[in-house]
Amino acid sequence: MPRHPRRRSARGGEGRCAPEPLERLQKMLARAGLASRREAEDWIRAGRLTVNGEPASLGVRVGPDDQVRLDGRLVRQRAASSGEAAFVYHRSSGERLDQVPEDAPEASVPLLERLPRRAGRRFIVVSPMPRIDGGLELLCADGESAARLQRRVRQWVSAFSVRVLGELTQTQLEGILGGALDSGVRLEVLGCESAGGEATNRWYALRARGASGKDVRQLFERQGARVSRVLRTQLGALTLERSLPRGHFRALAPNELEALLAPQAHEPAGLRLPG
């Protein structure tokens, strides 16, 4: 296991140096927004990481004074800036976050190049919508926070607008409310109501606890519905505000992120769609 250099810390009452806290290498990389813990473990096994010039091993702990390198390049041990650790983005259907949408102006820049660089060098999408769909996306620059949010998504009530061809029958609606998925898992569906439409297209507003965009598509398609679009309008306590146009983002305030990370961070079952 690599040796750690002697650390310089603030002197104690008798002139002694207080040791600085150490943390596992994979946790440090996740906190810095460079990788998930699992990805970091894969990097360690592949021999891509060194600590103080020696190959890293699983379980090694590092501190601020240790030199960590990935493929020979020095890793800066820093966390995402306070207040800019997470972002809400209004994504267009079919848009890739690292590419400009086809209908965007010529001078447009992909989302991942527009987010503040000081927020982190790697952004993780929490419970991403399928590429064919869109709506509210939550991005996090802090890998540790992203992992915690991903674990809590299944506690949250989310809302979706689903566009289908034609009007659903009562039997189809009852099947959707049943919440059965192909895997045998049964979602807690809290409501599915008609939300209007034009010509042959009809919109339905669905609320469910712990549902992903993929789950929602499957709920409708299992009942024979022809789904053309799924838009997420709410993810737990976050709502897609009308003031946030497609292709735009905003940073979460520190208190918003803290609320999402809190153990009780999920919406009550009676939550209704805005508007």
Does one domain contain both 176 and 45?
no
Does one domain contain both 223 and 178?
yes
Find where tokens 């926070």 sit: 145
Query: What's the confidence (pLDDT) of residue 75?
Result: 81
- CA-nearest of 113, 117, 116, 120 to 140 is 120
Query: What's the confidence (pLDDT) of residue 198?
Result: 81
Domain of residue 125, CATH code? 3.30.70.580
Domain of residue 204, CATH code? 3.30.2350.10
Q: Report yes or no on 8 lying in a domain.
A: no
Does one domain contain both 209 and 251?
no
Query: What's the confidence (pLDDT) of residue 158?
Result: 96
Name the residue range of residue 227's domain: 157-235
Residues 51-63: tens digit of each pLDDT = 999 999 988 999 8
Q: Report yes or no on 225 lying in a domain.
A: yes
Does one domain contain both 130 and 258?
yes
Query: What's the confidence (pLDDT) of residue 20?
Result: 59
- Of residues 114 and 242, the one with the higher pLDDT is 242
Q: Report yes or no on 1 lying in a domain.
A: no
Query: What's the confidence (pLDDT) of residue 51?
Result: 92
**pTM of the complete model beyond 0.95:** no
Does one domain contain both 148 and 244?
yes
Domain count, the chain: 3
Pairing status of strand 227-235 against strand 134-140: parallel
Among 63-77, 154-168, 228-242, the range scoring the smallest mean pLDDT is 63-77
Does one domain contain both 166 and 55?
no
Residues 160-180: tens digit of each pLDDT = 999 999 999 999 999 999 999
Q: Report yes or no on 3 lying in a domain.
A: no
Please give the structure tokens belonging to residue 91: 């994504």
Examine the pLDDT at 187 and tell me if it is beyond 70.
yes
Question: What size, in residues, is the chain?
Answer: 275
